[in-house]
A and B are shown apart, each in its own frame.
Chain A
Amino acid sequence: MSALTFLIVALIKIAITLGVLLTVVAYTVWLERKVVGRMQNRWGPSRVGPFGLLQPLADGIKFLLKEDLTPPYVEKNIYLLAPGLALIMALTSIALVPIGPVIHLFGISTPVQITGVVDAAGQPSDINVGLLIVLGITSLGVYGIALAGWSSNSKYSLLGSLRASAQMVSYEVSLGLSLVGVLLMSSTLSLSGIVHAQQSTWFGVIPQWFLFRGQFVAFFIYMIAAFAETNRIPFDLPEAETELVAGYHTEYSAMKFAMFFMAEYANMVTVACIASVMFLGGWTGPTISFLPLAVQAFLPLVWFTAKIFFFLFLYIWIRGTLPRFRYDQLMAFGWKFLFPLALANVIVTAFFVAWRA
């Protein structure tokens, strides 16, 4: 593959992935409003289009047309930088995620993954340290929130962003530790390599996903830490509206506010992607042999979408169910329960892996 074809293929993949991701983000908001509405015995959005399906579009137009206030007392440059940083960091992680296997189109074969390539032998490969890059991008996402609160020069914003960043860094350690158990079994940091390590099945039925190979504690830790990372209920203290108005984006309006909003939902999608890649086998799933081959080629994408949808629904479900933590409870839970549990999981997993070898 020449350099030019490589670049064109990469650009096409980026355009499609980014378009799909932004659509998913918009419709996750719709889904959340609809599902939470039904859980609370309301209809949710129902006026704009059938089932309120055009609601995200209407919201988008509204965000564009609203007055964008930049209060005079803010640190202008950093105030402008913060939402962009939050959104870009939230979107970029998707570039590392293996969405599907190798596809062959117009004489070019390439994996459905922005950073994936096919080598001379026809084997797909991606970045060796892909997982760590995702973690790195996540850790840079803290800046968007911290800088937003600091530059706003408002008490609510500052307290909200301090809370948010302290919470994110506290749970980041447990998040990283919970993934080590999977790495012990997969022996690779490449995300597509991790998916390949989960491809086989027991008795041809039960998939050998890491969740079923003893990593359920890690999965539990990962999900809790991920909820805290994305500032979602029950860990949405940074935006606890009863105490902090809107937290770190109190002073933001119109499109800049919308960027924080999109960043939150894009982060949810990323977290769901990593969870399904690490614990639920990514795009692997049962093959359905009676379907025509052309349809079968799309099955991995269907499985992956189904897994992502499951996680997004879980987010919404929990939002409709649980109340909010208190801040001291949140910190104690992260440092005194989740962290030692994650460490114990690593040691126990290592013991079993060493014993079997």
Chain B
Amino acid sequence: MWGFRALRARAGHTAGVPYAMPQNYIPIFVFLLVAFAVAAGTLLVATIVRPRNPEKVKGMAYECGIEVQEGSRKRYTVRFYIVAILFVIFDVETIFLFPWAVQFKQLGAYGFVEMIVFLGILVLGYLWVWKKGALEWI
């Protein structure tokens, strides 16, 4: 296990280098502002030039030509909820893979075993979910 200890000792040294938010991030914010201006600008131009004559019928919700039967605010199937919660869980798992993948060449075989253990436990959960039928869409 001395190899692992050496890795561990080195981990403390790679960090601690002064590292503030680099200036490369600023263009992203500028881009967001410009994109916002483009979107808002087109909408603004459209409000100036477009015609406007609303009618009662034009304002009704589209329901294949018939009059609106009931509101849309109802309860819908729980399946969508299961999908969303599975997504959150497996997204967390995926996020852990990114720093591991970037550092994998330094971690070597240790990293491989570590991740196999981590993924093994999660694959168990995945198989259990499958067996329980939560992945079926009925």
Residues of A at the B interface (CB closer than 8 Å) are 6-7, 10-11, 13-15, 18, 22, 63-69, 71-73, 83-84, 87-88, 91-92, 95-96, 114-117, 125-127, 132-133, 152-159, 162, 166, 169-170, 172-173, 176-177, 180, 183-184, 187-189, 245, 250-251, 254-256, 259, 327-328, 331-332, 335-336, 339-340, 343, 346-347, 350-351, 353-354, 357
Contact = CB atoms under 8 A, between A and B. Distances in A.
B124 interface: no
Contact of A10 (B27, B61, B90, B109): B27
Nearest to B91: A173
Contacts of B62: 154, 156, 245, 250-251
Contacts of B115: 347, 350
Which 4 residue pairs spanning A and B have beta carbons closest together? A183-B101, A328-B137, A169-B87, A255-B46
Nearest to A128: B22
21 contacts: A10-B30, A18-B35, A63-B46, A67-B53, A69-B58, A87-B39, A91-B38, A95-B27, A114-B27, A117-B23, A154-B62, A169-B87, A170-B83, A176-B95, A183-B98, A183-B101, A187-B103, A189-B102, A245-B64, A331-B83, A350-B115
A183 B137 contact: no
A18 B98 CA distance: 29
A245 B51 CA distance: 25
B28 A95 contact: yes
Interface residues of B, number: 68
A221 to B, nearest CB: 13
B123 interface: yes
Contact of B102 (A169, A188, A259, A327): A188
B86 interface: yes
State the main secondary structure of chain B at its contact with A: helix
B9 interface: no
B7 interface: no
Given A245-B62, A343-B123, A350-B112, 13 more contacts: A6-B23, A14-B34, A64-B50, A68-B46, A71-B58, A84-B36, A87-B39, A127-B25, A166-B83, A255-B46, A327-B137, A350-B111, A357-B108
B42 to A, nearest CB: 6
B87 A172 contact: yes
A346 B80 CA distance: 28
B14 interface: no
A170 B38 CA distance: 31
B101 A68 contact: no
A226 to B, nearest CB: 16
B17 interface: no
Contacts of A346: 97, 101
A160 to B, nearest CB: 11
Contacts of A332: 135-137
Contacts, number: 195
A117 B22 CA distance: 10
A278 B76 CA distance: 39
Nearest to A83: B39
A66 B98 CA distance: 46
A87 B52 CA distance: 24
B73 interface: yes
A144 to B, nearest CB: 11
Contacts of A67: 50-53
B46 A176 contact: no
Contacts of B112: 350-351, 354
Among B40, B47, B137, the most chain A Cβ lie within 10 Å of the Cβ of B137
A166 B116 CA distance: 29
B105 interface: yes
B135 to A, nearest CB: 5
B117 interface: no
Contact of B109 (A15, A66, A180, A354): A354
A13 B27 contact: yes
B39 A115 contact: no
Given A69-B59, A162-B76, A332-B137, A347 B119 contact: yes
Given A73-B61, A84-B39, A166-B83, A331 B137 contact: yes
